Amino acid sequence: MAGPHTLAETERQVQARLGDLTLDFEAMAVVSNLFRAANAVRNHLERTVLAPADLTWTAFVVLWVVWIWDRVETRTIAAEGGFSKATLSGVLSTLESRGLVERARSESDGRLVDVTLTTAGRKLMRGLFPQFNDEERAITRHVEDLGSAAAMLRAMTLATE
């Protein structure tokens, strides 16, 4: 949200429009930078790692969750990935048509659908994830304390729930 302009300049402009209100500019800067970072990182990873494999961001997240947990119910994937079940339904259909995942109705509960990776899906993830992690390392290389960075982000996530 806040961009090439300086922070001070942005504050000045906001103050000019809402001078009579008390605002929290530090909070504004943090939220703004959160989205700039997430956007930049996502675009970067999509271009460098995902595009060559013809995968979208969300498709990769779905594959990742299924890969880690081997056999997952769709509701779990949606919760872990942070998107709606409606979105997941479409992405799963795409991945299924490409032969990367398989849907199977649960035997113990007829409402649930279990998802697993096909052999092709597992092979793809095994090749992709190391590249992905290399980029993650590069992206965070200038972050001093990774542990406290993760904790800070978790604090924001929790504060919204």
Partner DNA sequence: TGCGATTGGTTTGGGCCCGAACGATCGAGC
Partner DNA sequence: GCTCGATCGTTCGGGCCCAAACCAATCGCA
Helix then strand then coil, in percent of the chain rounded to 5, is 70, 10, 25
157 lies in the binding site for DNA (CB under 7 A): no
Q: How far apart are CA 115 and CA 64, in angstroms?
A: 12
Q: Which of 46, 56, 65, 118 binds a copy of itself (CB under 8 A)?
A: 65
How many chain residues interact with DNA (CB under 7 A)?
29
x/- track of binding to DNA for residues 28-47 (CB under 7 A): ---------------x---x
**Residues between 104 and 143 with contacts to a copy of itself, criterion CB under 8 A:** 125-126, 129-130, 133, 136-143
3-state secondary structure of 49: helix
Are 81 and 62 spatial neighbours (Cβ–Cβ below 8 Å)?
yes
160 is written with which tokens?
Answer: 């919204």
Alpha helices in 21-118 (DSSP H): 25-45, 57-69, 74-81, 85-97
8 lies in the binding site for a copy of itself (CB under 8 A): no
Are 117 and 67 spatial neighbours (Cβ–Cβ below 8 Å)?
yes
Q: How far apart are CA 112 and CA 72, in angstroms?
A: 10
Give the interface segment with DNA, choosing from 10-18, 21-29, 30-38, 73-81 (CB under 7 A).
Answer: 73-81
x/- track of binding to DNA for residues 85-124 (CB under 7 A): xxxxxxxxxx--------x-----xxxxx-----------
* Residues of the shown chain interacting with a copy of itself in the complex, contacts defined by CB under 8 A: 1-5, 10, 13-14, 17-18, 21, 23-24, 26-31, 33-44, 61, 64-65, 67-69, 79-83, 125-126, 129-130, 133, 136-144, 146-147, 149-150, 152-161
